[in-house]
A and B are shown apart, each in its own frame.
Chain A
Amino acid sequence: MKNASLPISIEKITKKYGSTYALDHVDLEIKSGEFLTLLGPSGSGKTTLLTVLAGFTRPDGGSVKFGGTEMVCVPPHQRDVGMVFQNYALFPHMSVAENVAYPLKIRGVKGLEAQERVERSLEMVRLGGYGKRGIDQLSGGQKQRVALARAMVFEPRIMLMDEPLSALDKQLREHMQIELRQLHEKLGMTTVYVTHDQREALTMSDRIAVINFGKIMQLDTPRAIYERPLNKFVAEFIGESTFVPVHIENGIAQFANFSFKTLHNDSRHGAALLMLRPERLKVLRDQDNLNTQFNEFSGQLVHLVYQGDSSLLEVKLPNDLLVQVRMPSVELQNHQNLQAGALLRLAVSVQDTVVLSAEGGTS
């Protein structure tokens, strides 16, 4: 029962509140059947963009097209998109089945067909037989599923989700992430998903649009967003990172007396920022030797924090610059010399040596 899906084309969408831009000339092409996540901190404009797609917020200008049809002036009830709300917004005066049947009733689907579709939709979210329950008899996770069933029972070709998992506890959230993703693969509708949780975005999306100050800071696959951030904001917002001020010349980044080969042989010159991901740094033992695919540098261990699956080491580089190194805890036994004050040799592969412009694109 794979539905036809529609591409979404967003052009120059702008919304101002007072003198601040909630959305600043946003352009975004979402492919048919794609799972795209809008990721950003609160107040970044990601939810505003979603409500523009749903029709709840009227932008000051711009264009929103669903499969080539201009939708920006169409009222929400004529847009035919499914939406899952943050707090589910299940009607409290209706049963589970009545909630799910609501969009069918409005579309004139009645009787046995409506009943079957409601039941099928509930089975899809593994709540078959829950139809007669009241909304307040459901747990958070069940409400979430009913909201999902209600949003997809009328087979919309576009699905919008506004932080649908944020009210669930961690374990359930991770479980639902996988389930949502599987449902998307089964149904194939174009999905726009809003979250401020970077891990959720990385787990679920085909592509991620990182948003801040009403602008798209980067639009790419989860892997590219994580490994090749375009600017300091994206690098900081997604994953842990340390920034080292460097000087670039001929593709070599210089910090104190260390030099880092970079992958992209760009012709950039002058001040820049080197981004180091803690888990991509390697602590070398005395006997380790490196090939040319690695950059080596060193610093003094400040302290080591044991965190279960991994341990966090804080290492002081020249100029009192602190760098964090994450080491799988199984490797602790391979190192003898991990007392505070010890001199550590560190390495990062050229692949993971990412240089960003010093302005960082933000702040």
Chain B
Amino acid sequence: MSALPNALALRRADSIERLWLLGLVTPAMLLIVITMVLPVGWLFYLSLLSDTGAYTTEHYVRMWEQPSYMRTFRATFEVSIMTTAICLVIGYPLAYFLSELPKRAANLCMIAVLLPLWTSLLVRTYAWLVLLQRKGLINNWAIELGLWSEPIALVHNMLGTLIGTVHVMLPFLILPLYASMRAIDRNYLRAAANLGASPMKTFWSVFFPLAMPGMATGALIVFILCLGFYVTPAVLGGGKVIMVSSRIANDIEIFFNWGAASALGVVLLVMTALLIWIFMKLLKISNPMSQVVKS
């Protein structure tokens, strides 16, 4: 070993390469520590402080005791689950259609799917408000066409909230789902047919399980983004649908209660992390983003 020529120089070259790699990730690591780890730690610390600055668990106890908090959490989960479900119902066939198109056509259609993401979230949300309100475009036209006679409440309720959230979230579902469908070798489907499976059976026994990772990833992303969604539910829900994020904003802007807001933030964070963990255990996905990266 010691007799090998150049052994030392070669080993040094190895360590220099490793140092370079380490140097490349340092900025990102620093950024994560400064913008994520420190604030979350600070949040947790704040949630344990009372108005006077003494340590207390009152914010957590209040969340448990006051039914209005329970309602907030329930509304948050309702909106998130419904949005995810509706996105799946709308997005699955669309992603399938896209994955069957020739690559060029599919790329063009994909731009259409992604177009909303290039527009400001606020603009999109207020645009929906214009369309959906009592004297909005949709109600006016429907009444003129005789579809219904009185304006229908399309906004400032659960319906309006869901219309908005589904619209915003849909691309996040379609993107990974499309990628994983596109990656399915069509020969699998031919093989299934050749072995005697009807188109329906082929779909459920071959296509659906193979597209599962993309679907799970998309659904998880939508669900988690919904849990912390603020702007769209706040505007289109009009105070009727109060989600955790709205409540946090209220606590800070109206009541200046940083402790209560922080406690809500901490609970939301813990719940989200827990859900991701359970989800990944159930579906045996090691990394929810792996599907997106792979394509």
A residues with CB within 8 A of B: 54-56, 75-83, 85-87, 89-93, 102-103, 106-107, 150-151, 154
Contact = CB atoms under 8 A, between A and B. Distances in A.
B192 A102 contact: yes
Given A87-B187, A89-B188, A89-B191, A106 B209 contact: no
Given A92-B210, A102-B192, A77 B187 contact: no
A102 B190 contact: no
Contacts of B205: 102
B65 interface: no
A103 B196 contact: yes
Contacts of B191: 83, 85, 89-91
Given A55-B194, A89-B190, 16 more contacts: A54-B194, A76-B193, A77-B192, A77-B194, A85-B187, A85-B191, A87-B185, A87-B187, A90-B191, A91-B188, A91-B191, A92-B210, A93-B209, A106-B196, A106-B197, A150-B195
A83 B201 contact: no
Main secondary structure of the interface of B (DSSP, over half): helix
A83 B194 contact: yes
Interface residues of B, number: 19
A81 B192 CA distance: 12
B256 to A, nearest CB: 54
A86 B187 CA distance: 9
A31 B202 CA distance: 32
Contacts of A151: 195
Interface in B163-211: 185, 187-188, 190-199, 201-202, 205-206, 209-210
Contacts of A91: 188, 191-192, 206
A143 to B, nearest CB: 13
Contacts of B187: 85-87, 89
Most buried by B among A54, A55, A56, A76: A76
Contacts of A150: 195
Contacts of A56: 190, 193
A83 B189 CA distance: 13
A102 B194 contact: no
Nearest to A51: B190
Contacts of A85: 187, 190-191
B214 to A, nearest CB: 13
Contacts of A80: 196
A75 B189 CA distance: 13
20 contacts: A56-B190, A75-B193, A76-B190, A76-B193, A77-B192, A77-B196, A77-B198, A77-B202, A78-B196, A81-B194, A85-B187, A85-B190, A89-B188, A91-B192, A91-B206, A93-B209, A102-B192, A102-B197, A103-B196, A106-B196
A56 B192 CA distance: 12
Interface string B195-231: 1111101100110011000000000000000000000
Given A87-B185, A89-B188, A154 B210 contact: no
A93 B198 contact: no
A159 to B, nearest CB: 11
A295 B141 CA distance: 95
A82 B197 CA distance: 13
Contacts of B192: 77, 91, 102
A92 B207 CA distance: 11
B281 to A, nearest CB: 18
Nearest to B210: A93
Q: Which 4 A-B pairs have the closest CB atoms?
A: A89-B191, A103-B195, A89-B187, A76-B193
B249 to A, nearest CB: 44
A106 B201 contact: yes
A80 B190 CA distance: 13
